Structure 1
Amino acid sequence: MRAETDPSGSGAHPDEWFASAKKIYPMAVHGTFRKIKWAVLFATLGIYYFLPFVRWDRGPDAPDQAVLVDMAGRRAYFFFIEIWPQEVYYLTGLLILAAMGLFLMNAVAGRVWCGYLCPQTVWTDLFLWVERHTEGDRRDRIRLEKQPWTLKKIGQKISKHTLWLMIAWWTGGAWVLYFADAPTLVMDLATGQAAFAAYLWIGILTFTTYALAGHMREQVCIFLCPWPRIQAALTDEEALNVTYRYDRGEPRGSLKQNLKREAEGLPAGDCVDCHQCFHACPTGVDIRNGTQLGCIQCGLCIDACDDVMDKVGKPRGLIAYDTDENIKRRMEGKETFVRIVRPRTVIYVAVILLITGIMAYALATRELEGVSVLHDRNPIYVELSDGAVRNGYTIRLLNKRQVQRDFILSVEGMPEGTRLEAVGINQGVSGRPVIGVGPDTTREVRVLVFSPADAEMPKTTPITFRITETVMGEVATGTDFFKAP
């Protein structure tokens, strides 16, 4: 097995390999894993490009875009879920779930994320498809690079880069649609009336997509992305990885050489040294050299090898998802096994289920109203001429529903005879302020609390402000203190 620092399997230092690296021309392959990659590509890009246009009715005066990050309104919408700025802990939960999901995939099948779901892989696959349809497959592209510049070559190059830029431009355009009403923003962009920030981000993402997926490709996976280094520390000997089964393939040689060796009674492997696995690899890895940093576990070398095995009349699976431990067991004549359920994977699944359960419970039980209290700092309290003491507060009421709601404000923890006033707010029938809060918004009010003149109170009294919704009786509280001389 080659060292993890050797992407090419050549034994060279990464800096030396980078300096001597040649352009990679992956060939087109057909098979099970290529079909899986196409399915993932169409599904993920379909979601990414068209999800901003999906509508979701949230009632009058509310955004009807199913997935929207409303920076101006300080909200994030995901279908029936609405996230406020103070609920950023949901984002923390999602990040933990994403990390645990990556760890679980790595424990089961190595860099399966890199090979199928990573945005770099998905867009690179799409760009390679365009390249093949404009310039031809591997041999055609190599031949084209060596040819002098002709009108035909110029036309092929212009066609390829034009299509790349169009895909990159729509990639950046789709991204900004998640931050504003998609149909409206499309019209504004087309008529030149959109905000400068929209054009700026489209330009940035167009350039990065074009550069990363079109030109840098395998360099992103090998040199820029930190995940290969991280996953190398997380993997174990029981994780399934794309593996060359050298117990069956060696000694390798051409088909004629191997047949001759078999006729002479000498050992001969199934590998016919055709290099199709190497030519199919999008990162230029020869999997026969063992696990390497550049291998993204995409399985395309498996499809290429299986196709060759079919042609030479050998069983499929010379390259397959397997473990080094199984190869050793086969060489010793022992039975092989695949153990997906083991302590590592059980722990990852348990953490994922726990975090998911906590987030689901928090969403199901979260309050749709709230109150926050800020005590005046200067002066902290005021002694009145009649002996009473006044404390001032700034109270913000929160209404997460899409309808206007009225809340009765009261204070608890103060002695009997305490008076509560909200500046500019009429007192209700009960003598307590009734504060109206608009749909899906907050309202800030100035509140004064007066202690009775003859009350004996400690210098600091913990108090609770309570708001009670007038129709459904929903309650929220906020705590602070009352200061006395």
Structure 2
Amino acid sequence: MSAQDQQPASLYAAREPIFPRRVSGRFRTLKWWIMAVTLGIYYITPWIRWDRGPHLPDQAVLVDMAGRRFFFFWIEIWPHEFYFVAGLLIMAGLGLFLFTSALGRVWCGYACPQTVWTDLFILVERWVEGDRNARVRLWNQGWDLRKLRLRLVKWALWLLIALATGGAWVFYFTDAPTLARDILTLSAHPVVWITIAILTLTTFFFGGFFREQICIYACPWPRIQAAMMDEDTLTVAYRDWRGEPRGKLKSTAPRGDCIDCRACVNVCPMGIDIRDGQQLACITCALCIDACDEVMDKVGQPRGLIGYLALSDEVAEKAGRPPRPVWKHVLRPRTMLYTVLWAGIGIGLIVALFVRSDIGVSVSPVRNPTFVTLSDGSIRNTYDVRIRNQQGEDRVFTLSYSADAPFVMTLEGEEGHETVVPADSQKLQRLYITAPAGTPAATMAMTDLRIWVTAPDGAGRVHADTLFNGKSE
């Protein structure tokens, strides 16, 4: 036996390039519209203006990392309100569960960024190199000047799209017109250039070269979706009881409606054969439905050999009975549960948004030292009080305390008990609380203390609880 025969067989399979054929139909048209809408939202949103007054940015949607806030039109989210962002992420997850349970991987097939940009890159590829057969011939032929020219033109257009993708993303994190000027004058911060470069390269390679591999190997959702789907989920499927046995159109042997033209395979961006059954790689983009319907029209057979189908309807359809109405598949206990949870979280976030206070306070005792004994024997504690003013104007806040012991309160840098907090910002105010000598608070180890912050004209009042440290005897 030779040394070559003794080597174990490799389990690695080289990637077979996929060249989807152009197809037209209702699902392809729907995908074009969704692409236009999603890309339009992505590129236009940072440039929408929203007047919030003289002290706040006028960008409608802005993730203000420097100011540690998130702006969405009239909504302003502060760092301590991150539960709003968490709630939106939970709603997004439940939304995925809901749509997957009802209609399969519609997110993957229509709205996922990987799908949208891959579709756009394939459109450019088809425009430069031709449809499927022309691209296959170009791939198989040797390198010459024509092939090099087509490749360079295609890659250049891909790179421009990828650059626009990365460039649009950074505009969400700072004022878009200002950043655009800095980019054009080459004076932008290095972080901007690094971010654009990373997003440009990832978009270029993911949409241009990796394509279906991202969906199959990198994305976890194909593996999670199995738990979201059941026999009542509507998903793209092949009606084998109608299509089998396959046979050519002019064949005299008994055959089903499938003429084995492979149109469904040739248009699939994942390179799978839907006739082999449900597969992890299928993103339910439904392009195979358009391709098959087009062929059925040409050969005089009814449409629907490939279509949206629930496994629970398989027995009825095989027997020639009509399937259950779509609404019965969509409105079932699982989807209704997801809908209730999704709506409940949304309503909770809306209520929390409208009942939240526009002032806030946090109190941090200074621990070094815990207390100070003054010359007259009184005990003084020091606190850092952080006051938050979420309105668009400067406001004068009054500080007070409540406790079961007498205290004397003074504010550092202020004559009375009032302090000014600038518009839409926070102020750190040093506060001194003193217990007179011989009082219970001065001689006890700890005394409960509540610090109050009152807005002008009693418009709002908040508090924070803390402790007063005494000199225990």
- Aligned partner of 1:232 in structure 2 is 226
370, 374, 377: which one pairs with 1:380? 370
Distance 2:457 2:179 in 1: 39
459, 462, 466: which one pairs with 1:476? 462
> 1:414, 1:451 within 8 Å by CA — same for their partners in 2?
no
> 1:247, 1:327 within 8 Å by CA — same for their partners in 2?
no
Q: CA RMSD in A?
A: 1.5
Alpha-carbon deviation of 1:313? 0.7
Alpha-carbon deviation of 1:334? 4.5
395, 402, 424: which one pairs with 1:440? 424
> 2:392, 2:424 within 8 Å by CA — same for their partners in 1?
yes
- Aligned partner of 1:426 in structure 2 is 415
- Aligned partner of 1:147 in structure 2 is 141
Distance 2:257 2:238 in 1: 11
Distance 2:103 2:123 in 1: 26
Distance 1:299 1:138 in 2: 18
- Aligned partner of 1:4 in structure 2 is none
**Bigger CA drift: 234-243 or 468-477?**
468-477
Alpha-carbon deviation of 1:386? 3.2
Distance 1:472 1:190 in 2: 50
Instruction: State how 1:4-83 maps to structure 2 within 5 Å.
Output: 16=11, 19-83=13-77
> 2:55, 2:424 within 8 Å by CA — same for their partners in 1?
no
286, 297, 303: which one pairs with 1:316? 303
Q: Are 2:388 and 1:402 aligned?
A: no
Alpha-carbon deviation of 1:454? 4.6
Amino acid at match of 2:449: I
Amino acid at match of 1:255: L
Alpha-carbon deviation of 1:388? 2.7
Instruction: State how 1:285-300 maps to structure 2 within 5 Å.
Output: 285-300=272-287
The one-character-per-residue Cα deviations of 1:182-221 (angstroms, maximum 9, x if unpaired) are 1111111111100000001110111000000000001111
Q: Are 2:140 and 1:173 aligned?
A: no
248, 256, 272: which one pairs with 2:250? 256
> 2:63, 2:173 within 8 Å by CA — same for their partners in 1?
yes
462, 466, 476: which one pairs with 2:452? 466
Distance change in 2, residues 1:31/1:335 (3 Å): closer
Distance change in 2, residues 1:21/1:379 (3 Å): closer
Distance 1:274 1:393 in 2: 79
Distance 1:37 1:334 in 2: 31
Amino acid at match of 2:446: T
Alpha-carbon deviation of 1:335? 4.4
Distance 1:426 1:23 in 2: 77
Kindly tell me the number of residue pairs found equivalent between the two proteins. 457
Distance 1:393 1:212 in 2: 53
Amino acid at match of 2:167: G
**Bigger CA drift: 336-345 or 271-280?**
336-345
Distance 1:438 1:109 in 2: 51
The SS at the match of 2:200 is helix
Give the % identical residues. Answer: 48
Q: Are 2:437 and 1:453 aligned?
A: yes
- Aligned partner of 1:281 in structure 2 is 268
Distance change in 2, residues 1:333/1:149 (3 Å): closer
The SS at the match of 1:238 is coil
The one-character-per-residue Cα deviations of 1:350-382 (angstroms, maximum 9, x if unpaired) are 110111111111111111111110112132223
Instruction: State how 1:328-347 maps to structure 2 within 5 Å.
Output: 328-337=315-324, 338=326, 339-347=329-337
Distance 2:411 2:431 in 1: 4
The one-character-per-residue Cα deviations of 1:34-54 (angstroms, maximum 9, x if unpaired) are 011001100000111111111
> 2:233, 2:311 within 8 Å by CA — same for their partners in 1?
no
TM-score (ref. length: structure 1):
0.91
Alpha-carbon deviation of 1:478? 1.0
